[in-house]
Protein backbone atom coordinates (compact mmCIF):
# COMPACT_ATOMS: atom_id res chain seq x y z
CA UNK A 1 0.00 0.00 0.00
CA UNK A 2 1.14 3.53 -0.75
CA UNK A 3 0.10 6.58 1.29
CA UNK A 4 0.10 10.07 -0.23
CA UNK A 5 -0.42 13.07 2.05
CA UNK A 6 -0.24 16.82 1.63
CA UNK A 7 -2.19 20.02 1.97
CA UNK A 8 -5.46 20.75 0.22
CA UNK A 9 -5.16 21.43 -3.54
CA UNK A 10 -1.49 20.49 -3.71
CA UNK A 11 -1.75 18.03 -6.62
CA UNK A 12 -1.89 14.74 -4.73
CA UNK A 13 -4.27 13.03 -7.15
CA UNK A 14 -2.37 14.30 -10.19
CA UNK A 15 0.82 12.93 -8.62
CA UNK A 16 -0.85 9.55 -8.00
CA UNK A 17 -2.09 9.41 -11.57
CA UNK A 18 1.21 10.53 -13.09
CA UNK A 19 3.68 8.64 -10.91
CA UNK A 20 1.71 5.59 -9.73
CA UNK A 21 -0.62 5.02 -12.68
CA UNK A 22 -3.88 5.54 -10.78
CA UNK A 23 -6.81 5.43 -13.22
CA UNK A 24 -9.85 5.02 -10.93
CA UNK A 25 -10.52 6.04 -7.35
CA UNK A 26 -13.20 6.31 -4.69
CA UNK A 27 -13.66 9.98 -3.83
CA UNK A 28 -14.37 10.68 -0.16
CA UNK A 29 -15.54 7.14 0.54
CA UNK A 30 -13.90 3.81 1.14
CA UNK A 31 -15.10 2.00 -1.96
CA UNK A 32 -14.10 -0.91 -4.17
CA UNK A 33 -11.48 0.92 -6.25
CA UNK A 34 -7.77 0.35 -5.67
CA UNK A 35 -7.33 4.02 -4.69
CA UNK A 36 -9.04 5.98 -1.92
CA UNK A 37 -8.93 9.71 -2.64
CA UNK A 38 -9.85 12.16 0.14
CA UNK A 39 -9.62 9.66 2.99
CA UNK A 40 -10.07 12.55 5.43
CA UNK A 41 -13.62 13.06 4.10
CA UNK A 42 -14.43 9.37 4.44
CA UNK A 43 -13.28 9.46 8.06
CA UNK A 44 -15.76 12.28 8.70
CA UNK A 45 -18.72 11.23 6.56
CA UNK A 46 -18.69 7.45 6.35
CA UNK A 47 -19.99 5.55 9.39
CA UNK A 48 -17.50 3.03 10.78
CA UNK A 49 -14.81 4.25 8.38
CA UNK A 50 -11.98 2.77 10.43
CA UNK A 51 -13.46 -0.75 10.18
CA UNK A 52 -14.13 -0.26 6.46
CA UNK A 53 -10.54 0.90 5.99
CA UNK A 54 -9.21 -2.24 7.69
CA UNK A 55 -11.25 -4.45 5.36
CA UNK A 56 -10.18 -2.37 2.35
CA UNK A 57 -6.51 -2.75 3.32
CA UNK A 58 -6.88 -6.53 3.58
CA UNK A 59 -8.36 -6.65 0.08
CA UNK A 60 -6.04 -4.06 -1.49
CA UNK A 61 -2.45 -4.75 -0.35
CA UNK A 62 -1.19 -2.79 -3.38
CA UNK A 63 -3.74 0.02 -2.95
CA UNK A 64 -3.13 3.76 -2.80
CA UNK A 65 -4.55 6.08 -0.14
CA UNK A 66 -4.59 9.86 -0.67
CA UNK A 67 -5.35 12.09 2.31
CA UNK A 68 -5.22 15.80 3.09
CA UNK A 69 -3.15 16.86 6.07
CA UNK A 70 -5.71 18.35 8.43
CA UNK A 71 -3.68 18.67 11.63
CA UNK A 72 -1.83 21.88 10.78
CA UNK A 73 -3.01 25.36 11.58
CA UNK A 74 -5.50 26.62 14.11
CA UNK A 75 -7.13 24.02 16.35
CA UNK A 76 -10.90 24.02 15.77
CA UNK A 77 -13.10 25.21 18.61
CA UNK A 78 -15.74 22.58 17.82
CA UNK A 79 -15.23 19.33 19.75
CA UNK A 80 -16.38 17.17 16.81
CA UNK A 81 -13.93 18.85 14.44
CA UNK A 82 -11.07 18.28 16.90
CA UNK A 83 -12.04 14.61 17.24
CA UNK A 84 -12.16 14.26 13.45
CA UNK A 85 -8.68 15.79 13.08
CA UNK A 86 -7.44 13.33 15.69
CA UNK A 87 -9.01 10.38 13.80
CA UNK A 88 -7.41 11.48 10.54
CA UNK A 89 -4.00 11.90 12.16
CA UNK A 90 -4.12 8.52 13.88
CA UNK A 91 -5.33 6.80 10.70
CA UNK A 92 -2.47 8.33 8.70
CA UNK A 93 0.06 7.23 11.33
CA UNK A 94 -1.21 3.64 11.12
CA UNK A 95 -1.24 3.74 7.32
CA UNK A 96 2.29 5.17 7.18
CA UNK A 97 3.50 2.38 9.45
CA UNK A 98 2.02 -0.29 7.17
CA UNK A 99 2.80 1.40 3.85
CA UNK A 100 5.55 0.28 1.53
CA UNK A 101 5.95 3.93 0.49
CA UNK A 102 4.77 7.29 1.82
CA UNK A 103 4.85 10.50 -0.23
CA UNK A 104 4.23 14.09 0.81
CA UNK A 105 3.08 16.23 -2.10
CA UNK A 106 3.49 20.01 -2.23
CA UNK A 107 2.94 22.07 -5.38
CA UNK A 108 2.50 18.84 -7.33
CA UNK A 109 5.93 17.54 -6.34
CA UNK A 110 6.13 14.35 -4.33
CA UNK A 111 8.86 13.73 -1.79
CA UNK A 112 9.25 10.14 -0.67
CA UNK A 113 9.28 9.92 3.12
CA UNK A 114 9.40 6.15 3.34
Name the nearest CA neighbour of 3 among 71, 60, 86, 77: 60
Return the half-sphere exposure (C-beta side, CA atoms, 13 A cut-off) of residue 54.
3
Structure confidence at residue 3 (pLDDT): 98
Q: What is the pTM of this model?
A: 0.94
With beta carbons less than 8 A apart as the criterion, state whether 109 and 12 touch.
no
With beta carbons less than 8 A apart as the criterion, state whether 14 and 4 touch.
no
- Full pLDDT tens readout for the chain, 114 residues: 999 999 999 999 999 999 999 999 999 999 999 999 999 999 999 889 999 999 999 999 999 999 999 988 888 899 999 999 999 999 999 999 999 999 999 999 999 999
The Cα–Cα gap between 103 and 13 comes to: 12
**Residues in a beta bridge with 68:** 6
Domains of the chain plus CATH, in order, are 2-73+81-112 (3.40.50.300)
Structure confidence at residue 71 (pLDDT): 87
Amino acid sequence: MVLIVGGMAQGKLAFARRELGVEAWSDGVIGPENCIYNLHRALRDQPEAEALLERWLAGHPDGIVVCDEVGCGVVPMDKEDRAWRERVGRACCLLAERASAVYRVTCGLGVRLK
